[in-house]
Structure formats: structure tokens, C-alpha cells
Amino acid sequence: MKKHFWQAILITFFLGVILGGAGFAYYSYRMAQEGYPVSYFRSAKQESAHKSVTKTFIPRKVVVKQPRLNHRTKKLKQLLKPIVGEKRFVGTVLIIKNGHQIYNQGYGYANISKKALNTANSEYQILSMQKSMTAMLIMQQIQAGNLQFADHLDKFYPEIPGASQITIRSMLDMQTGLRIHS
């Protein structure tokens, strides 16, 4: 009985891998047929679409000791400890209740080599957050009726090569094949 159970699990796993691979290949084939550039590997000649970012953020003001906390803030910090932990979360937690700030505390290091701590006023690089924010703003415009998924890029930026073939949908799916070249 136990032997058959494990055989069934292995067969199910391998079927899932095979069917998943076939589904992925079919999806890629359909995307290519519809004119979307489908490339999963970068050639050596292509450049990154985003600027290189330094690995460590250097804060303007180095803080090596957090400010003193009042009783209420200490209590909130104790409640948040299981969620943010001592070493798991790096950033700033801001809690607002009824329009009033009740907690604002930095966690982790802004620059570990200088032992500079994050504070309530720490600045962060947004990196790929702009993608999510842009997608949200575009979806709001689609819901408002100002844009459509089928709108082409040449409606807004006709100077971009191939803009007449690129839709809002393909841009949101990051399937345009556009690259930033120096």
C-alpha cells in the first residue's frame, strides 16, 4: 500500500512537470504567433532596461542609536515584535489611527558597514516599486475609460520604434521587448 502511494505521488509529480512544460511552451508559441516578442534569455549585446543602482544606500545623517520611546510606543513595539522581529524586517513602520500618527519607528540598518540605523525619517530607494505604482495608475485610467488595453503606444509616443505594434496590455505584461540603450 505504502509503495503504491509513493509511486502515485511520483507519477503525479512527473506528469505535472511534463504538462507544465508543455503548457509553458504552448503559451510561448501563442504569444509569438500574436506578435509578442518572447525571449527568456538575454543575449550578450542587450543592456539592462534599468540603471545600475549602488548596492548600499548611504544615509545623509548617520544614526547609531534610536531615540527614546515613550510608554505607548514601547507597548506598540512589543506588539509588533512578532511581526517585524528584531532582524527580519528592514525599513520603517508607520501606524496612523484616525488621521493621527501613533507609531513611527525605523528597523534594521540603513548602512550596515557604518552601523547606521534606519529611523522614522530614513529615505529608501523605491527600485521596482515604480512598476507596481505605474500599473495601478494605468488600471485606474482604464477603469475610468481614459485608456484601453488595446490602445497602442504610438498614440502617446509615436517616435518609439515599433510603437504601433505595442499595446498597453503588452506593456503591463512586460512583453514589449523594449530595451534602454546607451
For residues 87 and 99, state if they share a domain. Answer: yes
CA distances from 54 to 17, 51, 57, 126, 129 (A): 38, 10, 7, 13, 17
pLDDT above 60 (res 52) = no
Predicted confidence at residue 54, as pLDDT, reads 46
* 139 shares a domain with 88: no
165: domain range? 46-53+125-182
Is the pLDDT reported for residue 169 higher than 80?
yes
Span 125-131, mean pLDDT? Answer: 77
Beta bridge partners, 95, equal 103
Give the pLDDT confidence score for residue 42 in this predicted structure: 45
pLDDT for residue 155: 93
* Pairwise CA distance, residues 131 & 49, whole Å: 12
Would you state the pLDDT for residue 108? 84
Q: How many domains does the structure of the chain reveal? A: 3
| pTM exceeds 0.75 for this model | no
- Both 133 and 179 in a single domain? yes
The answer on pLDDT for 181 being more than 90 is no
Same structural domain for residues 71 and 116?
A: yes
Domain boundary among 85, 100, 124: 124
Q: Region 78-103: what's the mean pLDDT? A: 82
Confidence at residue 3, expressed as pLDDT on a 0 to 100 scale: 66
